[in-house]
Amino acid sequence: MSSDNTQLVDRDLAVLWHPCSQMKDYESLPMIPIRRGQGPWLEDFDGKRYLDAISSWWVNLFGHANPVINRAIRDQLESLEHVILAGFTHEPVVRLSEELVALSPPGLTRCFYADNGSSAVEVAIKMSFHFWRNQGHSRKTRFVTLGNSYHGETLGALAVGDVELYKEIYRPLLMDTLMVPSPDCFHREQGESWEAYSRRQFAHMEQCLQQHGDEICAVIVEPLVQCAGNMRMYHPIYLSLLREACNRHGVHLIADEIAVGFGRTGTLFACEQAGITPDFMCLSKGLTGGYLPLSVVLTTDPIYAAFYDDYDTLKAFLHSHSYTGNPLGCTAALATLEIFRSRDVLGRNAELARHMAASVADLQDHPHVGEIRQHGMILAIEMVRDRAGREPFPWQQRRGLEVYRHGLDQGVLLRPLGNVVYFMPPYVIEETEIDLMARVAAEGIDLATGLKTAV
């Protein structure tokens, strides 16, 4: 590694503690200091470039240093960087709310802001619980969540998630939830369709709602793709059935679209594919095009109305974050929505999605590929020890890390989740770049599964 890279790494290791990292791993696999970004590319201090195949943790939509978003933020910076949102307002937050209400599923008419995804999930959970309190339903205290789900790292968000690796150690600190088996179609029978399996798995949800409906505040789901849960996917029918059942049992539906929102699954919001409106929709990540931390919970008139009363009834939602509705974040979000308006983003994405599928078609018959699955701009390749029985590689072997290493070596940022290699690139990626990403992923999978040894 060059001296410029190394210098910054040494300074970093002296003072930083990195997210989602065993810091000791950096002894054998150094971090990469990034000097600049351009489109789907990142560049280190050595001038080496990396194709950002994972949109910098699923946030970036239209590339790094996007001229439209850059300009908007610069302009906003000249007039107002931030102001308290309690008792005050500003134009970016009003315009953004108007646009989000217009774009989101019908019936979502109110925007409550926070500054990251986990906080949005906390807001939705608290609002749902508080709504039922305000309505006199004090028995409703529980939340239903899907197996293999992920909703963030703060304690409330962690409690409604189910990724063992992040959750297990903190279990004594977490509220008790009702966990229902996931509709994750990786587990469908041979020959069974996604739809049939998702429908079949819904029986567990129906049973849970029937049994516990009167103590349940809400069901929380990641629509269509359980991203942190190894990019496992299911059919929209599950969401349609869930919406109907929640109505029938008097339970809220929280759609956590933090990762899948803003076109990732092919539609602007994943819920659209089921034609449903959730009671709460959480957005973050792509909301600002990957520029600034901002999140929002959209909800309905009836929920808003249940909090609207004289102060001394103590029905108000007194939740806040210092940077709630930050003007620079809202401006980045407005510029992002402007890009959606000015080009046929979803149409282009459909082409790119087809190209991604074709680029990995050869892996379909790979002896260590158990499944290739895709919803729009999210494509995942599941490595398995044994193809027929879909037997997983033991996690301790860290096969994905081999793919990660090979990717970095070849200038592609892939960051497998366990044994799952996936693509979730910025929408400005080109076909030739997809081909590069696919070739490097395929080589990495060969290396990691022992089909070929490194030369």
Ligand X SMILES: *Cc1c(COP(=O)(O)O)cnc(C)c1O
Interface with ligand X by CB under 6 A: which residues? 116-118, 121, 150-152, 222, 227-228, 256, 258-259, 284
CA distances from 225 to 50, 200, 215, 229, 258 (A): 26, 18, 27, 9, 11
418 versus 444: smaller Cβ distance to ligand X: 418
Q: Which residue, 109 or 154, has its beta carbon nearer to ligand X?
A: 154
Q: 201 or 284: whose CB is closer to ligand X?
A: 284
Q: Name the token pair of 290.
A: 């990957």
For the chain, what is the largest distance between any 2 Cα atoms, rounded to a whole number of angstroms?
A: 73
94 vs 155, beta carbon nearer ligand X:
155
| Smallest distance from ligand X to CB 192, Å | 26
Nearer to ligand X, 157 or 383 (CB): 157
DSSP-derived pairing of the beta strands 49-52 and 108-114:
unpaired
Nearer to ligand X, 417 or 429 (CB): 417
Q: How far apart are CA 204 and CA 28, in angstroms?
A: 44
CA pair distance 274, 243, nearest whole angstrom: 9
CA angle 214, 216, 217 (to 5 degrees): 120
Work out whether strand 225-226 and strand 232-233 pair parallel, antiparallel, or are unpaired.
antiparallel
- In this complex, which beta carbon is closest to ligand X, that of residue 145 or of residue 359? 145
- Distance in Å, CB of 295 to ligand X, minimum: 7
- The nearest distance, CB 19 to ligand X, in angstroms, is 9
Q: What is the DSSP string of 206-231?
A: HHHHHHHGGGEEEEEE-SSEETTTTT
Comparison of 100 and 163: residue with beta carbon closer to ligand X: 163
Nearer to ligand X, 228 or 403 (CB): 228
Q: Where are the alpha helices (DSSP H) in 343-371?
A: 345-359
Which residue type, as a one-letter code, is found at position 131?
A: F
CB of 269 to ligand X, least distance (A): 13
Nearest-approach distance from CB 231 to ligand X, in angstroms? 11
Q: Which is nearer to ligand X, 229 or 444 (CB)?
A: 229
Beta bridge partners of 54: none
Tell me the closest approach of the beta carbon of residue 228 to ligand X, in angstroms.
6
In angstroms, give the least distance from the CB of 23 to ligand X: 19
- Which residues on adjacent β-strands are paired with residue 142? 216
Cβ atoms of residues 364 and 413 within 8 Å: no
Tell the smallest beta-carbon distance from residue 248 to ligand X (Å).
26
3 state SS of 331: helix
Smallest gap from Cβ 373 to ligand X, in A, equals 17
Question: Which residues, 6+ apart, have CB-to-CB distance to 220 below 8 Å?
Answer: 121, 124, 125, 143, 144, 145, 149, 151, 160, 254, 256
Q: For residues 281 and 434, which CB has a smaller minimum distance to ligand X in the complex?
A: 281
In the complex, which residue's CB is closest to ligand X?
Answer: 117
Q: Closest distance between ligand X and the C-beta of residue 215, in Å?
A: 24
Q: Where are the beta strands (DSSP E) in 329-385?
A: 369-375, 378-383
> Which residue, 231, 163, 241, is CA-closest to 208?
241
**Amino acid identity for residue 357 in this structure:** A
Rounded CA-CA distance 422/289 in Å is 20
Cβ at position 154, least distance to ligand X in Å: 7
Kindly tell me the burial class for residue 171, based on how many C-beta atoms sit within 10 Å of its own C-beta (0-12, 13-18, 19 or more).
exposed
